Amino acid sequence: MSRLRVALPKGRLFEPSAGLFRSAGAAIQDSGRKLLIPSTDPAIEFLVVKPGDVPVYVESGAADLGITGTDVLRESGADVLEPLELQFGFCRLVVAAPTHAHYPALPGGVTARVATKYPRLSQAFFAAAGRPVDIIPVGGSVEVAPLLSLSHWIVDLVDTGNTLRANGLVERETILHCGAVLVANRASQKLKLDAYLDLMERLEHAG
Ligand code: PRP
């Protein structure tokens, strides 16, 4: 059977992702600093990459499969299969603003500045609502942007809401409900069909 290469995301999705594959009989093996990591199933190997990079690895075929959040996946616009929704990584992509900030419009027709790690999804959301905004792309720590007047509002992920509260922000609108999802390269799903179907069955039972 052919070998499948699986891209796992660093960060908060890593442990549940590795746990899912462990339950499916493919536990990550210690590989020191090596980036291609063998598993207890010789037909499956892993690479661990930044969450935002999983879609491009899978779309290009550098990895056959991957786990990512639907937030990152929709933002990337990657053309991949999504064979399995997973039961972890639930959160929301929201518009948030300081407690007393004007919303959904600023006085005097001023165009709102919106800081976010999700420029495409944010732009699409406000465009669909017919509300022009200036998107300010940032790489992280988005919640600080309104405090420093970099932006009026933000678009970011919310899980517990603790980060928003700690920075004096409140949710205004939900853009997307997100969760972890298994993604697959279109070509390798066909070329490695036996291995793919076998793994899919094991993951469905493990999840
Ligand atoms: C995410 C997100 C928020 C926070 C929300 O950041 O960007 O900052 O988690 O979680 P909460 O509602 O439970 O407080 P993450 O910790 O993944 O780090 P990042 O900013 O580097 O993406």
pLDDT at 35: 84
What lines the ligand 1 site, CB under 6 Å? 11-12, 140, 143, 156-163
Q: What's the mean pLDDT when you consider all of the chain?
A: 96
**3-state SS class at 127:** helix
How many A from CA of 91 to the centre of ligand 1? 10
pTM exceeding 0.85: yes
| Length of the chain counted residue by residue | 207
**Is the pLDDT assigned to residue 137 strictly greater than 90?**
yes
E runs forming strands in 2-123: 4-9, 36-38, 44-49, 65-69, 81-85, 91-98, 112-116
**3-state SS class at 169:** strand
pLDDT at 34: 82
pLDDT at 178: 98
pLDDT at 207: 73
High-pLDDT (> 90) share of the chain, %: 96
**Centroid of chain to Cα 12:** 10
Segments making up each domain of the chain, as ranges:
4-89+179-206, 91-177
Give the nearest ligand 1 atom to 165 CA. Answer: 14
**Is the pLDDT assigned to residue 107 strictly greater than 80?**
yes
Report the sign of the C-alpha dihedral through residues 153, 155, 158, 163, in that order.
negative
CA distance 96 to 188: 40
Q: Which whole number is the average pLDDT over 51-59?
A: 97
196 neighbors 184 (Cβ within 8 angstroms): yes
Q: Which whole number is the average pLDDT over 121-132?
A: 97
Superfamily of domain 91-177: Periplasmic binding protein-like II (3.40.190.10)
CATH assignment of 4-89+179-206, given 3.90.79.10, 3.50.50.60, 3.20.20.70, 3.40.190.10? Answer: 3.40.190.10
How many A from CA of 157 to the centre of ligand 1? 6
pLDDT at 48: 95
pLDDT at 102: 97
User: Do 4-89+179-206 and 91-177 agree at the fold level?
Assistant: yes
Band the pLDDT of 144: cuts 50, 70, 90.
Answer: very high
